[in-house]
Structure 1
Amino acid sequence: MTLSMSIHNAAQRGYTSAPDSYQRGRPEYPDALNTWLAAVLGVREGVQVVDLGAGTGKFTKLLARAGARVTAIEPVDAMRTKLSEGLPGVRALAGTAEAMPLADGDVDVLICAQAFHWFANEQALREMHRVLRPAGRLGLVWNVRDESHEWVAAITEVITPYEGSAPRFHTGKWKLPFEGQTLFSALQPTLFPHSHVGSFEQVVIDRFLSVSFIAALPQAERESVAEQLRALKDRFAILREPTITFPYVTQAWYAERLAAP
């Protein structure tokens, strides 16, 4: 199976066409997450860490700054190229969650940031278990929009009709492979308040045109989505401000590798 066949079409097409929008529009991560990485996952100098589904490297750079020995695995060539341009000292490999180019037990910590919902399946869990050392640690991280704000919920209403079959975090289906399995301990969550501060074009237009299933649309439909998002300025004064603070909650989940059953 080729890499392009083993990832969802929306991810392959969308992330190939929009690496620059992704880099501009996606939020960074809260400072408090650095403490969680060190205290819970044990990310520190010299530790072997894999960033799986690394994209353009927004999360990878946190791991590199901690002094970890980082390997970024990303199946989409355009995203991996952007990562290597920004982080030339990080080893970046083509691979998927189901087929990582790593030896058995080669990794102390494996992290998926903004990515696990794309490959939430039993085969991926088995492959993660294979590459992690005994008692190795698995981390899953997402920046999740805070839809308790009416204007944020309105943005979701604009993009949701286009999602089709693309796997989405909000459905919760990503948790299903962990039910009844014996490869990892039960997932433990930690939540951090977060925000993305910038112009409307950055935190709304770039952010949501970089969503995989939006980026994969024909140009005319992408432009229609952008027009719908800009029309929200007429309803919500906050979107007309020169600087917008977009609210998120960062969810960080932890599990430990168990002995092979």
Structure 2
Amino acid sequence: MNDQVHHSAAAGYKTAAETYVKGRPDYPPQVSQWLSETLGLDRYQTVIDLGAGTGKFTGRLVATGAQVIAVEPVAQMLEKLSEAWPQVLAVSGTATDLPLPDACVDVVVCAQAFHWFASAEALTEIARVLKPGGKLGLIWNLRDTQVSWVPKLDAIVNALEGDTPRYYTGAWRKAFPHPVFGALQLQQFHHGHTGSPEDVIVNRVRSTSFIAALPDAQRAKVDEQVRALIASEPQLRNKDVVTVPYETAAFVAVKQK
């Protein structure tokens, strides 16, 4: 199965599971309405949390009342998820090899994950497990570059991405159109991740797969760059609590056949 997982994810997320929990932002309140109204999730539905990671989004799905199945290929992440959400069925699998029967779920959600496996093959496998008329939800949090210091932080991170798939590049969109799914429909929300600079900035950067996979010396250099940025920005310098601005993009596509 590791052969199906990008090397940045396979290496980085093995060591970054704890940092991922600390550094990743939550999702805005409007997401609850998106899940219930746009995706139609309620206690009569079954949903797959695909690429579920440590379960950062799993709680949102649990809150809808739906039966949740979490699918994640990285064992260390799946372990964290199971600890946080013991009531959820957590299984090892990938987007191109889902360990589930045909037409068994109403919704598949990929939170902060679809860019890792965006392909016609993955969409075909997702469509296989969806019931006719079932929905695919794709959702991402992205730092809001309208705030002046955010592009500077992004530049530190993006310089190290190599061949790692990223949402912001838009390359994931090449998987669409797909013959089984209708057109993508987009809703956007804004929110902030508030906490100590160590958690919401430093640990957020550390939780990035390709940075977590770096040798210790290189990771330490990234830490230095990030802390230097914090020290140089009036909005961040000497602050115990800061807010990192985020935009959330939420897409849905409906299975047509």
User: What TM-score results when the alignment is normalised by the length of structure 2?
Assistant: 0.98
Conserved in 1, the CA contact under 8 Å of 2:82 and 2:88? yes
In the alignment, what sits opposite 1:249?
A: 247
**How many angstroms apart in 2 are the aligned matches of 1:138 and 1:109?**
6
**How many angstroms apart in 1 are the aligned matches of 2:35 and 2:63?**
12
Task: Provide the aligned length of Structure 1 versus Structure 2.
Answer: 256
In the alignment, what sits opposite 1:193?
A: 190
Q: What whole-Å deviation, never above 9, does each CA across 1:125-173 have from its counterpart, x for those lacking one? A: 0001100000001100000110111211100011111100000111101
Q: What pairs up with 1:1-261 in 2 under 5 angstroms? A: 3-179=1-177, 181-240=178-237, 241-259=239-257
Instruction: Please report how far the alpha carbon of residue 178 of structure 1 lies from its aligned counterpart in structure 2 after TM superposition.
Output: 0.7
**How many angstroms apart in 2 are the aligned matches of 1:233 and 1:27?**
18
**How many angstroms apart in 2 are the aligned matches of 1:72 and 1:234?**
39
Q: Which amino acid aligns with 1:153?
A: P
Q: Which amino acid aligns with 1:86?
A: A
**How many angstroms apart in 1 are the aligned matches of 2:12 and 2:54?**
13
Instruction: Please report how far the alpha carbon of residue 233 of structure 1 lies from its aligned counterpart in structure 2 after TM superposition.
Output: 2.4
User: What TM-score results when the alignment is normalised by the length of structure 1?
Assistant: 0.97
Q: Specify the SS of the correspondent of 1:30.
A: coil
Name the Cα RMSD after superposition. 0.7
Instruction: Please report how far the alpha carbon of residue 235 of structure 1 lies from its aligned counterpart in structure 2 after TM superposition.
Output: 2.1
Q: Specify the SS of the correspondent of 1:238.
A: coil
Q: What whole-Å deviation, never above 9, does each CA across 1:35-68 have from its counterpart, x for those lacking one? A: 0100000111131000000000010111112111
Give the percent of matched residue pairs that are identical in Structure 1 and Structure 2.
47
Consecutive aligned runs of 4 or more in structure 1 exceeding 2 Å deviation: none
**How many angstroms apart in 1 are the aligned matches of 2:157 and 2:66?**
37
**How many angstroms apart in 2 are the aligned matches of 1:17 and 1:220?**
15
Conserved in 1, the CA contact under 8 Å of 2:35 and 2:64? no
**How many angstroms apart in 1 are the aligned matches of 2:210 and 2:175?**
23
**How many angstroms apart in 2 are the aligned matches of 1:220 and 1:116?**
30
Instruction: Please report how far the alpha carbon of residue 234 of structure 1 lies from its aligned counterpart in structure 2 after TM superposition.
Output: 3.1
List alignment gaps of at least 5 residues for structure 2.
Answer: none
Instruction: Please report how far the alpha carbon of residue 239 of structure 1 lies from its aligned counterpart in structure 2 after TM superposition.
Output: 1.4
